């Protein structure tokens, strides 16, 4: 530095550059100010070419570079803090967006499964109702046939009972006969008087007797059968009531299913509206036109997914650049 001062003394009226940087900086800025103010230098003040002038110029550039470096170092912590804050905000937004997207996918899958189960239940219920309707129709036809058979049996009983009632009426109204047997005896005596008709009369009596026995047997059989039919009718009536109760029960279940399906449809509509709003916000922020129809939920989800992937790439790129920048600063220090 002493040699430099000696060399500077050889220059004509040149200011000696101090070795104190704090003093040199104001001198430098003052010289720059004077340079801007003075339009024409005296001939004796013209800069000369030489190593001394180049050295002064290099020292001046060095001081300027050190000042700029110090200013940048002073602003670095603030910029680093601001960058960290922005990075944390980006990570938080990406995390929230990912959680929202996962919850949305899970919700859509649950709604799809519930809708499929509801469809299967409705289909099974329709088949079951059709089966019950067919069974009820068959039972009604059987009941109708049994009612017709019962009416025929009652008709036969009334038809064959008329003869016995007639004979009892004759006994009551006639004083000659005490019983139906007396009538038969009188009838036999008359047959004796008329032999020509006795055999025919005997045959008629035998036929009448056989008919009475057969009628009695038939009456007993039909009575038992009628009792059995009545029991079957009661059983069928009970089954019909149970089937009717079961049908009402399933109708109530179907009504609840319809109500639940309406609620799910409302939820699905709300989900579609949310997807549409997200898609619109994405298009607005990207500055692109809205090309997908509002009801095309599948393509909307595809666009949302693509946007999320792009955001992930941006976040990853920002992370890599931040790490690279941090490594560069560490190397610099």
So what's the pLDDT on residue 11? 45
Residue 139: what are its φ and ψ, rounded to 5°? -65, -40
Rg of the chain over all Cα atoms, to the nearest angstrom = 60
> Any idea which residue has 């898609």 for tokens?
279
pLDDT at residue 20, rounded to an integer: 62
Give how far Cα 166 sits from Cα of 118, 161, 173, Å: 71, 9, 11
State the Cα–Cα distance between residues 60 and 76, nearest whole angstrom.
Answer: 24
Supply the pLDDT for residue 18: 57
CA–CA distance, 279 with 287 (Å, rounded to integer): 12
Give me the tens of pLDDT residue by residue for the chain, a chain 333 residues long.
Answer: 444 444 444 444 455 555 665 666 667 667 766 666 545 544 445 555 667 777 777 788 888 888 888 877 777 777 778 888 888 888 888 888 788 778 888 888 888 888 888 888 888 888 888 888 888 888 888 888 888 888 887 787 677 667 667 767 777 777 777 776 777 677 777 767 777 766 776 777 788 888 888 888 888 888 898 898 889 989 999 998 998 888 888 888 988 898 888 888 888 888 888 888 888 888 888 888 888 888 888 888 888 888 888 888 888 888 888 888 777 766 655
Question: What is d(CA 292, CA 270) in angstroms, rounded to the nearest whole number?
Answer: 18
Q: Per the structure block, which two tokens stand in for 94?
A: 């990406």
Quote the pLDDT of residue 294.
81
| List of residues 6+ apart from 160 with CB closer than 8 A | 211, 215, 218, 219
In this structure, how many other beta carbons lie within 10 angstroms of the beta carbon of residue 300? 21
Residue carrying the six token digits 């469809």: 119
Spatial CA neighbour of 276 closest among 290, 261, 256, 257 = 290
Torsion angle of the four alpha carbons 163, 169, 174, 178, in this order, in degrees rounded to the nearest 10? 80
| CA 281 and chain centroid, separation | 24
> What does the alpha-carbon distance between residue 84 and residue 86 come to, in Å, rounded to a whole number?
5
Q: Which residue has the tokens 């035998």?
A: 206
Query: How far is C-alpha 18 from the geometric centre of its chain's CA atoms?
Result: 82
């Amino acid at each position: 530095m002493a040699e430099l001062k000696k060399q500077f003394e050889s220059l004509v009226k040149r200011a000696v550059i101090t070795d104190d940087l704090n003093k040199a900086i104001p001198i430098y800025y003052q010289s720059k100010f004077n340079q801007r103010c003075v339009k024409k230098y005296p001939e004796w003040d013209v800069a000369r070419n030489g190593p001394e002038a180049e050295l002064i110029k290099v020292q001046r550039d060095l001081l300027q570079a050190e000042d700029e470096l110090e200013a940048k170092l002073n602003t670095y912590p603030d910029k680093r803090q601001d960058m960290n804050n922005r990075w944390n905000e980006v990570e938080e937004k990406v995390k929230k967006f990912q959680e929202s997207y996962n919850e949305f996918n899970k919700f859509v899958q649950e709604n799809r499964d519930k809708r499929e189960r509801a469809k299967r239940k409705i289909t099974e219920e329709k088949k079951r109702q059709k089966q019950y309707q067919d069974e009820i129709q068959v039972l009604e036809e059987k009941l109708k046939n049994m009612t017709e058979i019962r009416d025929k049996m009652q008709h036969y009983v009334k038809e064959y009972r008329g003869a016995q009632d007639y004979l009892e009426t004759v006994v009551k109204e006639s004083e000659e006969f005490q019983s139906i047997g007396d009538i038969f005896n009188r009838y036999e005596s008359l047959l004796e008087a008329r032999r020509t008709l006795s055999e025919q009369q005997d045959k008629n009596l035998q036929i009448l007797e056989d008919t009475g026995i057969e009628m009695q047997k038939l009456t007993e059989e039909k009575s038992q059968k009628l009792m059995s039919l009545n029991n079957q009718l009661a059983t069928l009536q009970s089954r019909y009531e149970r089937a009717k109760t079961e049908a009402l029960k399933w109708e109530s279940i179907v009504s609840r299913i319809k109500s639940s399906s309406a609620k799910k449809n409302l939820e699905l509509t709300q989900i579609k509206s949310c997807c549409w709003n997200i898609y619109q916000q994405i298009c607005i922020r990207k500055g692109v036109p809205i090309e997908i129809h509002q009801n095309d939920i599948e393509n909307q989800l595809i666009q949302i997914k693509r946007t999320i992937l792009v955001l992930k790439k941006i976040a990853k790129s920002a992370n890599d650049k931040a790490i690279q920048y941090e490594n560069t600063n560490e190397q610099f220090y």
